[in-house]
Structure 1
């Protein structure tokens, strides 16, 4: 199969995974935050990590970033954060993909995938919480209120991370097996 045909498969897969990320973000429980902000427990990070496992660091990062940023631009509460969301979710999936694809594993090593999902989630949490802290100070909130808001976001983000790691790793094995049986896995990963 030529490189241009493989590119079509990869582009289509990025679009499909971006759509999965977008839709999974709709399944959420909003949590009010001390300084008038909102945090959520949601399923979006599961599919961000799955994108990294299946599509690798770049394709997975693009799918996660695009799907998450599109969710933000369709929700008035998050529209101003869309550029940050694109970068942070890109890095969530990219770090996951980089670790999962280490030593030519290409997302096939279950133990490495657990580490990959945890690493991607930790990077995302560090970025998200740092942004929340800086943003809270920049808008003039008292340090105590900012710390309470960041603690609330840390709790919801931690719950999201645990849910994402616990579900995405076994889901990766199932999705990879289905893609392998359909001869799509090689078209998405190599070339």
Structure 2
């Protein structure tokens, strides 16, 4: 990558991190569960979009940093380490499918781009739907010292909100990527993931 491309990539990563922060901090609907709570939010949408636009590592870091900062500045502060790990993994998975398997950075017909955009988003969100409640259970049970039955109940409820978050993220991130990709290419701001060194 040239110096100019590196600057563009860092700027876009910072922008995606800010969008992930906003998506969780300000576009969030808390779901109270007794003394605990979970949330329906749009942070994952921008994490997926970041991985589609920037590649797995950069998109994952944007999601991890943005949403971890959102946790640290909200009532979700105790979940910040779990958030960092899971959002980084979402980005890595989406980016791997989009750019290593489908090679979305290269020129393709629109139906191919749409199909692989959705497949990539689904891959990352399926991981999250499974991992978030499972990791959440172990995190609450063994790191936060929560009682076993309560941790299991919270994991089940979290699975429902995670599923809703996944569906909205797949739809919105896919639509945004398909719309934004050509505009970035036309403006010379689309840094191809396969050009990175």
TM-score (norm 1): 0.90
Correspondence for 1:181 among 151, 163, 186: 186
Correspondence for 1:123 among 127, 130, 148: 127
Alignment length (residue pairs): 187
Match of 1:54 in 2: 53
Which 10-residue stretch deviates more, 169-178 or 99-108?
Answer: 99-108
- Listed one character per residue, the Cα deviations across residues 18-73 of structure 1 (whole Å, up to 9, x for unaligned) are 01111111211101125x32100011111110001000111111111111111011
For 2:95 and 2:132, locate their aligned partners in 1 and report how far apart those are by CA, in whole Å.
19
- For the Cα contact (< 8 Å) 2:5–2:191, is it kept in 1? no
Ranges in structure 1 where 5+ consecutive residues have no aligned partner: none
Match of 1:141 in 2: 147
Match of 1:8 in 2: 7
> How big is the alpha-carbon RMSD for the aligned residues of Structure 1 and Structure 2?
1.9
Distance change (3 Å), C-alpha of 1:121 and 1:12: same
- For the Cα contact (< 8 Å) 1:56–1:106, is it kept in 2? no
Q: Runs in 1 of length 4+ with deviation above 4 angstroms?
A: none
Structure 1 position 29 matched with structure 2 position 34 = no
Residue 124 (structure 1) shift? 2.0
- For the Cα contact (< 8 Å) 2:82–2:136, is it kept in 1? no
Ranges in structure 2 where 5+ consecutive residues have no aligned partner: none
